[in-house]
Structure 1
Amino acid sequence: MQPSLEKLRKFFRLEHENKYANTAIIGGLAQMLDFWEGEARADGVAEEVIQAVTSRLRSYEKLSPDGRAESLKGLWKRIGETYPEAGQKPKMQNQPPRPPRPEQEMNPNTEATLLPSQRPENQPQLPVQQRPRQAPQPRSESVPGAKTSQTPAALNASLTVLQGVGPKHAETLVSLGMQTLGDMLYYFPRRYEDYSQLKPIKDIFYGDVLTVIGTVQSVHTRPIRGGKASIIEVVISDGTGSLRISFFNQPWLANRFKKDDAISVSGKVDQYLGRLVMNSPDWEPVEVENLHTARIVPIYALTEKVTQKWLRGIMNQVVTHWAPAVADALPERIKLAARLVSLSEALQQVHFPNSQARLKAARERLGFDEIFYLQMGVLRQKRDWKSVEGRRFPVLTEWLDARLSSLPFTLTDAQKKSLEDIRADLDSGQPMNRLVQGDVGSGKTVVAALAAAIVINAGAQAAIMAPTSILAEQHYRSFTNMLASDGGMMQESEIRLLVGSTPEAEKEAIRQGLADGSVKMVIGTHAVIEGPVQFKDLQFIVIDEQHRFGVEQRKELRDKGTNPHLLVMTATPIPRSLALTVFGDLDISVIDQMPEGRQPINTFVLRPQERERAFTLIRGQIKEGRQAFIVYPLIDESEKIEARAAVDDFEKLSKEIFPDLKLGLLHGRMKPSEKDDVMMKFRDRQYDILVSTTVVEVGVDVPNSTVMLIEGADRFGLAQLHQLRGRVGRGGAQSYCLLIPTHEDATENERLQAMSRTNSGFELADLDLKTRGPGEFLGTRQAGFASTLKMASITDVVLIEKARTQAQLLFERDPYLQQTEHALLAEAFERFWGEGKGDVS
């Protein structure tokens, strides 16, 4: 397990032993994020895991002890899904020593001073199992273009060659991914303090996001909630005015602020009772010399025993001497065309910028490199995939028109366009590799069914793979209705459902049918890719909700055919910038129209005490013959908690709130057959209300349901909220989505407000990308990509377009980088892409 995750486990264990009092780290668990994020990225921890940890720990202090316990258990289970070894019992039985403060000042010539609780005389040495520490990937190995044959040999030197860095310090820096001088050049600051552009307190306004500097005038602690929590209020002044800073439930901070200390605070300016305030801003002591030089000062992610001042000093030695000597693999022609600074200039300015303009140019150059190498790889993947031969499946327009006219509805223009794209792919002589993205309920399934019909009509087989049994079963019903109903082109026996719960005898019959060709289409979950399943002639694959499948699973399915055509579907709208980069090897069709008769879903955010209003709306809708969902959050992402929460509220809802109505219960601990039975009864109107956990997120189609009430809505991401909302509004009646957060102060949650503003999945996807990062969309696809981007923002469409254009131009001239002028670039490209980052699906 990565060292950063091992460290996280120790903190969580200590927090458990402290009865979740938020004391495992001085200053609270959130204080570890500054140094932990840097270590985790250096260890190559998946970006979506890092985001999950940071979002949970930032809100940790606001939870009750029980809530904290649930949160940490759920978070560790989430980590265990990505890193199975995290789910194993730790071998080290003894309580770890309390970690030192990350802010602790460090003299570069001596060891860091230990806290009293860590000194040998106060704490006996605990026997710890000796095992080799897994070193994180060196920074220069993970940055495209950082290493070539022309890189000065001295950059491979150990950090101990630097003045003031001994073996102990060098070992500490290894945990940040810095083993050599070259690694230090690519250990970029995480943010900057701009002492050249400071605003006096008298000139700041409500809503500003900025940094101010002042001296501490007073520090007060006041109890709230009857003494169960407290607020620290610090007043700082810079001579022009004063600003009040509040920290919620962090009593230890009272001892950290001393009168007349100079501090810098960074955050958003809010208002309280007419006064300007900052709530829980980032802050740090001010180094006087930085104020006098009026520079832009880099702030690096730290680890234990390392301070900003010391690391900046060491970094300055390396950058000043070695940045001018680095080799630049990017051809001069591209730098001129894209108006980019040299790599040497970029490295100098990104660490110690002379101005905001030069910092921006440096970040643009480094970000350009990341996107450029990514694009080159994606373009080569696409070319390699297109270079193999795929079977042609031409189709007569008359035959297709007959299929379309047999449907009980008319396709939208967007559906027709997607179908035409697929039709052209199938007749191109090359394997199709297409992503169809469309909002919830936009009609992707019918397009996939028609595409499968074209292939099956020519005598080949098709496989449809869904992430859950419920969704697979729904696809089975939909495909059977469209293709094997009265007058359909297939027999019902030619379409089979294969899921984990399928009886073994039936599985064997399906496997036999696929092998001899009597089964033309199989629809299922991961069971479809299991070893014994062999096809006679698999030529068409549909993968639904592709971000839930790993690279290996997709490859296994593809290997069961000979260059089969691949259609990937997703109801998670992918922002354009992601579509251009990470999904750039796929041809993309967008279904951005809703079927006729669909009305926008009215969405409202209610305070917890307004829950009765939601119940009143549900009663009114049921009186009119409609149905409703009430969904509960997966609080700790564990099946046990999920079931208990749903069951407890189900009892109250059915006995006290809706005693005259019929309620059904659906949760993750039920057997697949039980889930199916409940869903069937709800669909057949035997239940008025379905009380559920998030198992209804995908694929449940009940056109008569018009209300979606989501409890604990602030615990969900936008993509998940939007998926849940898509369970209603599938009929012609006006539908409603009601969002009730856990606490009243969460009603202003940006995600919830966005949900109430728009029904557009694409708008919400862009916002989710900006606020939560790309993990929500990428899932397991090309897993290295999210963490590869250190400088480029996946939301910067202008930079992405620029890098993409240059990559395409170069690719057209020299796709395999064989020209002499591209020799260095080819070397850097192979180093970056040679580690299996790609996946042609």
Structure 2
Amino acid sequence: MPSPIEKLQKFFKLEAERGYDNRAVVGGLDKIVPAWDTEAQTLNYPETLIETVRTRLLNYPNLESEERSQALADLLTLLKEFQSEHPQLAANQAQPAAPRKPIPPARPKPARPVEAGPADDLLPPPPAAPNLRPARPVPPKSEPVQGLDAPLTVISGIGTRYAQSLRSLGLETLNDLLYFFPRRYDDYSQFKPINRLEYGDELTVLGTIQSIIVRPIRGGQSQLTEAVITDGTGFLRVTWFNSPYIANKLKSGDQIVLSGKVDMYLGRKVMNNPDWESLEQEHLHTNRIVPVYPLTAQVTQKNLRRILHQTVTFWASRLTDHLPNSVREETNLPDLSTAIRNAHFPDSMDSLTAARRRLAFDEIFLLQLGVQRQKQSWQSLTAQVFEPPAGWLDEQIQRLPYELTNAQRKALADLESDLRSGRPMNRLLQGDVGSGKTVVAGLAAAVVIQAGAQVAFMAPTSILAEQHYRSLSRLLAAEDGSNLLRPAEIALLVGDTSEAEKAAIRSGLADGSIRLVIGTHALIEDPITFQRLQMAVIDEQHRFGVAQRAALRGKGENPHLLVMTATPIPRSLALTLYGDLDLAVMDEMPVGRMPIETHVLHPLERERAYHLLRTQIEQGRQAFIIYPLVEKGEREDDSKAAVEEHQRLQREVFPHLKLGLLHGRMRPDEKEQVMARFRDGEYQILVSTSVVEVGVDVPNATVMLIEGANRFGLAQLHQFRGRVGRGPDQSYCLLIPESENAVENERLVAMEQSSDGFVLAERDLEQRGPGDFLGSRQSGFMELKMASLTDVRLIEIAREQAQKLFAMDPELQLPEHANLSRVFDRFWAATKGELS
């Protein structure tokens, strides 16, 4: 008589010969489980083997053909290993009960150690209950759930090859699956009888198959499966393209659940390619709010949904909630288990909203805790106190050729307070283009320099560094000694500085004879040492990486740090990504600045723009023309590029004017030369790419013409606009999109409506996400899975809770915060270094 093992091998062989159609046994392979299970237990087969066979055969009908092949292959491997290690049991010879030797798993050992029991015990059989309502949560445990680091190959139906496909989605462990959230949801929870269906409805229909056929189309190259469904009120035609297997699974008289969109064909209501399930089976793809996940090659929506449901059903209730009860109660958030379940398979839109809010809160809360810790770490250090003699700073302000704005005075007062606090300054100075940040930074630097210390000023480009060098030289230096510094005590260090000059600057910084240095990343190169660096100023800070900022700061001993940006930062970002920094906001323009007139022009109105340029140049002014590309590529038929357009404009449009060309592919010395000639008036028009965004200060320029304006974000368009209007004359910004259809582009309309950089920054964050504001800052914060950095209210709530908890237990050492500490460490392990 064949043993249970031999019976399985026989069935599996027949199933393979039939192409894995689940007909090797009448009713399907899952129907043999009860009898096989009983026989195997009678013979004292190890429970791990029985459980593995049971789990995978019960799930077999839900698998696609290729997945079935892999599942049976895995089982055959497991059975052969069992036969070799237990020949008597495998030969159907019962043995007395004795301690059982565990069966080694059939799959490869996981790459990382799994802290639970045998890998095949990590997931149970799919639940038999027909609904997906959350089970009663398991009481929280004092230790985190083990086994979530197990590889996906422990799941029935996932072999090595399929796991490789899932890896391209970032899925490698069971924990990855739990936090792999849908990209959208289709609400198929609404029902209608067939006779009340309307065109465009997206819903669920219950009915009985009246007929189903497969017929060839397109000359036999494709196949169409057609079914007629009835529910007693009417008939609905349903079609599936190139899915003949459906006709093998369904037959007349079967009751079926369909979810999809109602279309019309020849005056009749139809559903094309709907999701379907048998009325009796558990509904994952129909008759509910259906999650829709990101996909990749070889991964289908249905199978991924099944895998996630199996994982979530088993693991969600076993998760340990890391959020303290007090925080959950004050914020009215659901527990983690419920949130995970409802984020994947919600019972209602309300439960989905609550789940997403909880998971978004978690991300912002963990981010805020890290920000608080970094801020405390910085504030715990000591720094030199700088407090000038009474009235000294007022004298410096009186010597300026213009009046400071109230915003400048307030920002300067903040910097003064930082310098005399005894803690290192760690401040972000943000202000619109032309708001006067350099003057404020220069006056703060003067306070440090007058006490005999050194200041370093780092800019992202040579052009901007040179501009700051000129501005600070005018502000702080005089040859006759009437000012704070002599010209020899200020140095400019950029990539193009000659070796002889570099050597002299290095020597001057080391012996202290150079007290203020302005430069690019050359400032942080190893040979550079300072005698007494006490303040570092970093302009356009988002263009520098964390390592570069740390390297400059490391040139001194806890120096004061001031970072500046001309990109207005929305409040929500200031509260999160920049929460470790003290903020100083300059939202006021200097007196006498005229608002810049901004207009969106149709492409056919380009000649009007050229006429304005000619008029302004005749009055002695200058202009910029910006293009999105350097040169045209093969696929850029509709886009204009700087190189080609510079030639055309010089030849056909402005033949009597001098036009300069500036783009990112030019050598640094070439760019410097072009900018110098434009600044000195040798060029009336500068044709440029986005390289002109930062570091160009030409008060005589009054027109900014931006071609292909729809290709730029609001932050960038606003930066471009800030290159003009820096003198006393009326200035203009003209935006020309690539096509007529782009004239109504939201960003372009916003530019016409507002000149407030902070208003535009909020809109840019909503439209394009945080990328334009982060730059080289932590890229991980652009990958928040649930949180939106535009949700200021949730950010404020999370910040308040984080501050409260941090004040009570900054190191998360209390026993009730042990789980939170583990999750916090894992969250921040994915980032690199400090925020600021």
TM over 0.5: yes
**Aligned partners of 2:613 and 2:703 also within 8 Å:** yes
The residue correspondences of 1:237-636 to structure 2 (distance < 5 A) are 285-289=273-277, 294-485=287-478, 487-634=482-629
| Structure 2: distance between partners of 1:430 and 1:709 | 46
Residue 284 of structure 1: CA displacement? 9.4
Q: Does 1:109 align with 2:63?
A: no
Query: Quick check: 2:623–2:686 contact (8 Å CA) kept in 1?
Result: yes
Aligned-residue offset at 1:201: 9.8
- Report the secondary structure of 2:785's partner residue: coil
Q: Give the structure 1 partner of residue 786 of structure 2.
A: 791
Distance 1:424 1:211 in 2: 61
Distance in 2 between the 1:202 and 1:732 partners?
63
Contact 2:627 2:688 in 1 (8 A): yes
Deviation at 1:111, TM superposition (A): 7.0
Q: Which amino acid aligns with 1:321?
A: F
Rounded Cα–Cα distance in structure 1 between residues aligned with 2:623 and 2:830:
49
Superposition map of 1:747-758 within 5 A: 747-758=743-754
CA pair 314-395 structure 1, distance change in 2 beyond 3 A: same
Change (3 A) 1:308 1:663: same
Q: Which residue of 2 aligns with 1:76?
A: none
Query: Hey, what does 2:719 align to over in structure 1?
Result: 723
SS of the aligned residue for 1:566 comes to strand
Q: Distance in 2 between matches of 1:191 and 1:680?
A: 52
Deviation string 1:648-705 (CA, Å, 9 cap, x unpaired) is 3222212221122232222334443443333233223232212222222112111111
Q: Is the contact made by 2:624 and 2:686 (CA closer than 8 Å) also made in structure 1?
A: yes
- The answer as to whether partners of 1:783 and 1:837 remain within 8 angstroms in 2 is no
What is the distance in 1 between the residues matched to 2:410 and 2:728? 25
**Structure with more contact order per residue of length (Cα contacts < 8 Å, sep ≥ 6):** 1
User: Residue 288 of structure 1 aligns to a residue in which SS?
Assistant: strand
Corresponding residue of 2:816: 821
Q: Please, what TM-score do these two structures have when normalized by structure 2?
A: 0.72
- Secondary structure of the 2:704 match is strand
Opposite residue 730 of structure 2, the aligned amino acid is: Q
Structure 1 length normalisation: TM-score?
0.72
Structure with bigger gyration radius: 2
The aligned residue for residue 780 of structure 1 is 776
> Paired residue for 2:20?
none
> Could you tell me which of 681, 685, 689 is aligned with 1:693?
689
* Residue number in structure 1 paired with 2:101: none
Q: Could you tell me how far 1:110 is from its partner in structure 2?
A: 4.2
- Are 1:187 and 2:180 matched, yes or no? yes
Partner of 1:675: 671
- State the 1:159 CA deviation: 3.2
Kindly state the Cα deviation for residue 351 of structure 1 after the two structures are TM-superposed. 0.4
SS at match of 1:435: strand
Q: Which residue of 2 aligns with 1:176?
A: 169
- Distance in structure 2 (CA, Å) of the matches to 1:343 and 1:819: 20
1:708 paired residue number: 704
Distance in structure 1 (CA, Å) of the matches to 2:736 and 2:513: 51
Instruction: Supply the AA of the counterpart residue of 2:676.
Output: M
Q: Structure 1 residue 438: deviation in Å?
A: 0.6
Q: Deviations over 1:71-100 (max 9, x none)?
A: xxxxxxxxxxxxxxxxxxxxxxxxxxxxxx
Shift of residue 167, structure 1, vs aligned partner? 3.7
Residue 209 of structure 2: aligned partner: none
Deviation at 1:154, TM superposition (A): 4.1
Mean Cα deviation higher: 483-492 or 393-402: 483-492
* CA distance in structure 2 between the partners assigned to 1:803 and 1:556 by the alignment: 32
Q: CA RMSD in A?
A: 3.4
Q: Distance in 2 between matches of 1:182 and 1:291?
A: 21
The Cα of 1:301 is off from its aligned counterpart by: 0.6
Deviation of 1:746 after TM superposition, in Å, equals 2.1
What residue is the counterpart of 1:809 in the other structure?
804
Partner Cα distance (2:793, 2:66) in 1: 44
**Kept after mapping to 2: 8 A contact 1:719/1:776:** yes
Q: Which amino acid aligns with 2:758?
A: F
Report the 3-state secondary structure (helix = DSSP H, G, I; strand = E; otherwise coil) of the residue aligned with 2:391.
helix
- The residue type paired with residue 593 of structure 2 is R
Q: Secondary structure at the match of 2:424?
A: coil
Please report how far the alpha carbon of residue 211 of structure 1 lies from its aligned counterpart in structure 2 after TM superposition. 6.7
Matched position secondary structure for 2:744: coil
Query: CA 1:812–1:519 in structure 2 vs 1: closer, same or farther (change >3 Å)?
Result: same
Kindly tell me: are residues 517 and 201 of structure 1, through their superposed partners in 2, closer, same or farther at Cα, counting changes over 3 Å? farther
Q: 1:203–1:491: structure 2 CA closer, same or farther, 3 Å change rule?
A: farther
Deviations 1:143-196 (A, max 9, x none): xxxx99823334344434434333433333233233333332111111111123
Distance change (3 Å), C-alpha of 1:795 and 1:164: same
Partner of 1:664: 660
Q: Distance in 1 between matches of 2:149 and 2:556?
A: 46
Paired letter, 1:410: E
- Residues 700, 727 of structure 2: 8 Å contact kept: yes
Q: CA deviation at 1:597?
A: 1.5
Determine the C-alpha separation between the residues in 2 that align with 1:366 and 1:800. Answer: 13
Stretches of structure 1 lacking an aligned partner (at least 5 in a row): 1-103, 113-134, 139-146, 205-209, 215-253, 257-261, 267-282
DSSP 3-state at the match of 1:604: strand
3-state SS of paired residue (2:733): strand
> How much does 1:840 deviate?
5.6
Paired amino acid for 2:757: G
Q: Assess, with a 3 A threshold, how the Cα gap between structure 1 residues 794 and 518 changes in structure 2: closer, same or farther.
A: same
Q: Tell me how far 1:392 sits from its aligned partner.
A: 0.3
Residue pair 1:464, 1:523 contacting (<8 A) in 2 also? yes
* One-letter identity of the residue aligned with 1:474: Q
Determine the C-alpha separation between the residues in 2 that align with 1:458 and 1:498. Answer: 23
Cα 1:211/1:539, change in 2 over 3 Å: farther
**What amino acid sits opposite 1:498 in the alignment?**
L
Q: Is the 8 A contact 2:144 2:819 kept in 1?
A: no
SS in 2 for 1:792: coil
Cα separation, 1, equivalents of 2:805 and 2:776: 29
In the comparison of the two structures, how many residue pairs are matched? 645
Write the letter of the residue equivalent to 2:776.
T
Give, in whole Å, the separation in 2 of the partners of 1:255 and 1:629. 57
* Paired letter, 2:353: K
Residues in 1 aligned to 2:261 and 2:744: alpha-carbon distance in whole angstroms: 24
**Shift of residue 293, structure 1, vs aligned partner:** 5.2
Kindly provide the CA deviation profile for residues 409-454 of structure 1, in whole angstroms up to 9, marking residues without a partner as x.
1111111111000000000000000000111111111001001100
**Higher mean displacement: 283-292 or 397-406:** 283-292
Distance in 2 (alpha carbons) for counterparts of 1:683 and 1:410:
25
Q: Deviations over 1:450-499 (max 9, x none)?
A: 01100000000000000000000000000001111473211011111000
With over 3 angstroms needed to count, the CA separation of the structure-2 counterparts of 1:161 and 1:679, relative to structure 1, is: closer
Distance 1:466 1:632 in 2: 24
Amino acid of the structure 2 residue aligned with 1:757: Q
Q: Is the 8 Å Cα contact of residues 188 and 204 (structure 2) preserved in structure 1?
A: no
The offset of 1:264, in angstroms, is: 5.3
AA at the equivalent of 1:109? R
CA deviation map 1:113-170 (0-9, x unaligned): xxxxxxxxxxxxxxxxxxxxxx99x9xxxxxxxx998233343444344343334333
What CA distance in whole angstroms lies between the structure 1 residues aligned with 2:553 and 2:285? 63
Q: For 1:784, what is the secondary structure of its paired residue?
A: helix
Which residue of structure 2 lines up, in the alignment, with residue 767 of structure 1? 763
Say whether 1:648 aligns with 2:644.
Answer: yes
For the Cα contact (< 8 Å) 2:600–2:752, is it kept in 1? yes
Whether the 8 Å CA contact 2:534–2:558 is kept in 1: the answer is: yes
Report the CA distance between 1:750 and its aligned residue.
2.0
Aligned-pair CA distance for 1:536: 0.4
Q: Is the 8 A contact 1:201 1:212 kept in 2?
A: no
Query: Distance in 2 between the 1:617 and 1:363 partners?
Result: 52
